[in-house]
Amino acid sequence: MFWDKERETLRGKRLEELQAKQLRWTVSLAENVPFYRERLREAGISADDIRSTDDLSRLPFTKKTDLREGYPFGFFAVPRREIVRVHTTSGTTGKPTVVGYTQRDIDTWSDLIARNLTMVGLTADDTFQNAVNYGLFTGGLGFHYGAERTGMMVVPSATGNTKRQIEMIQDFGVTALHCTPGYALHITEVIEEMGVTLDSLRIGCFGAEAWSETMRHELETRLAIDAYDSYGMSEMYGPGVAFECTEKHGLHIWEDCYLPEIIDPATGETLGPGEKGELVITSLSKEAMPMIRYRTGDITMFIEDECPCGRGLRIARIMGRSDDMLVIRGINVFPSQIEHVLLGIPEVGDQFMVYIDRVHHLDEMTIDVEMNRSAFSGELGDLVGLQKQIQQRLQEALSLRTSVRLVEPGSLPRFEGKAKRVIDRRGDL
Ligand code: DLL
């Protein structure tokens, strides 16, 4: 039974008492980690000083760079023999961050995922295809164990061989698909090319990268499913930190396991509901690797009003990252804004690639945009009007002049995992 009404709807004084108790426990565990011991000493605070969640603001922040310095096991707060599994982040440069789990962590994490899947209406009668990487990435095993816990039949298809994935959905009567939103779009393209439909499929759980409301609409209509946003990060177990309910208006963040704050990324100042900023999370149930005020780099805001489903605090869909935010000639641009504009233009497909160069000391943004198969005549030369129109729309949305190149359908790279849609060449000489 994974609708834990008691815990999922906890409010007010009882929630605050639980959080304060778990915060004390988390800080006492963190005192086993040399990095935290030092930072807590500098801040003049110890676990015994924590009386309420108001004491959170006295605790130090943890940054990604701090975690990197602890490579590989420097942030483990329990003896090595209590660790039953490790995963790593997918960091593109340098060493990844290693995250460790005790058996209790694996159980709590699986329960959280099961809670999320139950929230969107999945039960033991469903068949769940887990089309994400099963290696060190937390999305594979994380969702696998959580889905099993609900009693669903799990198809550990992992990524790759899209036609085979589609056959399995059809042959096994798969009702729920989990993958990145980008891969879901690719599957959609392939089923359309094959001229088939996925009649058994009713729910999609998509996450691990930013996507938009427009993209939700695309996936829901083209696949005839309900699509839900799933958010998490390796440092907080992995997926399962926040998830949409059937209202599809913000993601419930599980306040019995995570203590979230939104801060101004530049000043560190705490922001209130409705104010956009960086999400900072303190773990409340992680044993092997407690995290204090971890700066996620993800930009969102708290949604204050009550959700009709009765569950607690929500965050808005992630709007981008404070650190992959592009600054082009002084203007802040999130790749998700570009995607939003392109999805609104029927002649172009869902695939694009952004290149940033420095030409005569000025930043130039070039966007390769794939034509839609149905709108493509076979000749790129006669599309100058469309190209100008896209540039115009992008200029209106981004307040920035860009250069658009239309390319043939199917010519840009597809991604089975997280998409890499920005290539910043400003550092290259
Ligand atoms: O991506 C965990 C995950 C797996 C989440 C499967 C959902 C589904 P990491 O590889 O550590 O963990 O990457 C975490 O990915 O800080 C965000 O920037 C981004 N991210 C994750 N989910 C979303 C989402 C997994 N729903 C980083 N929307 C996070 C936007 C997301 N960005």
pLDDT tens digits, 246-258: 999 999 999 999 9
Index of the ligand 1 atom closest to the CA of residue 206:
8
Going from the Cα of 227 to the center of ligand 1, the distance in angstroms, rounded, reads: 16
User: Tell me, what's the pLDDT at 363?
Assistant: 87
Residue 93 has pLDDT above 50, yes or no: no
Q: 154-173 pLDDT, tens per residue?
A: 999 999 899 999 999 999 99
The mean-pLDDT minimum among 174-183, 232-241, 356-365 falls in 356-365
Bigger pLDDT: 174 vs 181: 174
Q: Which of 231, 254, 258, 418 most suits a substitution to test ligand 1, by most atoms within 8 Å of the C-beta?
A: 231
Going from the Cα of 43 to the center of ligand 1, the distance in angstroms, rounded, reads: 31
| Contact between residue 82 and residue 102 where contact means Cβ atoms under 8 Å apart | yes
- Pick from 383, 354, 348, 380: nearest CA to 367: 354
Index of the ligand 1 atom closest to the CA of residue 238:
2
Residue 153 has pLDDT above 90, yes or no: yes
Which amino acid is located at 142 in the chain?
G
| Rg (alpha carbons) of the chain, rounded to whole number | 22
Q: What is the mean pLDDT of residues 377-402?
A: 91
Index of the ligand 1 atom closest to the CA of residue 251:
26
Index of the ligand 1 atom closest to the CA of residue 230:
26
Q: Going from the N-terminus, what domains does the chain have, and what CATH number goes with each?
A: 101-321 (3.40.50.12780), 326-428 (3.30.300.30)
Most confident of 219-233, 353-367, 376-390: 219-233
| HEC-encoded secondary structure of 96-156 | CCEEEECHHHHHHHHHHHHHHHHHCCCCCCCEEEECCCCCCCHHHHHHHHHHHHCCCEEEC
Kind of pairing between the strands at 127-130 and 153-155:
parallel
The overall average pLDDT reported for the chain is 93
Bigger pLDDT: 418 vs 274: 274
Neighbours of 181 (CB within 10 A): 25
| Contact between residue 368 and residue 407 where contact means Cβ atoms under 8 Å apart | yes
Q: What is the mean pLDDT of residues 315-328?
A: 84
Ligand 1 lined by 321 (C-beta under 6 Å): yes
Confidence of residue 1 (pLDDT cuts 50, 70, 90): low
User: Tell me, what's the pLDDT at 394?
Assistant: 94
What percent of the chain lies above the pLDDT cut of 70?
98
What percent of the chain lies above the pLDDT cut of 90?
79
Residues in the chain: 429
**Strands ordered across the beta sheet of 422-424:** 403-407, 362-371, 348-359, 422-424
- Pick from 244, 234, 258, 256: nearest CA to 315: 244
Question: 105: which residues sit within 8 A by CB, 6+ positions away?
Answer: 237, 285, 286, 287, 288
Ligand 1 lined by 296 (C-beta under 6 Å): yes
First to last CA, the chain: 58
User: Tell me, what's the pLDDT at 429?
Assistant: 47
Which amino acid is located at 208 in the chain?
A
- The strand ranges marked E within 208-325 are 226-233, 238-244, 251-253, 258-263, 277-283, 294-300, 302-303, 314-315, 320-321
Q: What is the mean pLDDT of residues 58-76?
A: 95
Q: Which of 67, 159, 209, 325 most suits a substitution to test ligand 1, by most atoms within 8 Å of the C-beta?
A: 209
Residue nearest to atom 9 of ligand 1 (CA): 233
Q: At 17, phi and psi to the nearest 5?
A: -65, -45
Q: Report pTM.
A: 0.87
User: Tell me, what's the pLDDT at 360?
Assistant: 79
Ligand 1 lined by 170 (C-beta under 6 Å): no
User: Tell me, what's the pLDDT at 91?
Assistant: 54
Q: What is the mean pLDDT of residues 320-336?
A: 79
Most confident of 183-192, 247-256, 413-422: 247-256
User: Tell me, what's the pLDDT at 92?
Assistant: 42
Confidence of residue 428 (pLDDT cuts 50, 70, 90): low
Q: How far is CA 375 from CA 189, 371, 428, in A?
A: 14, 7, 36
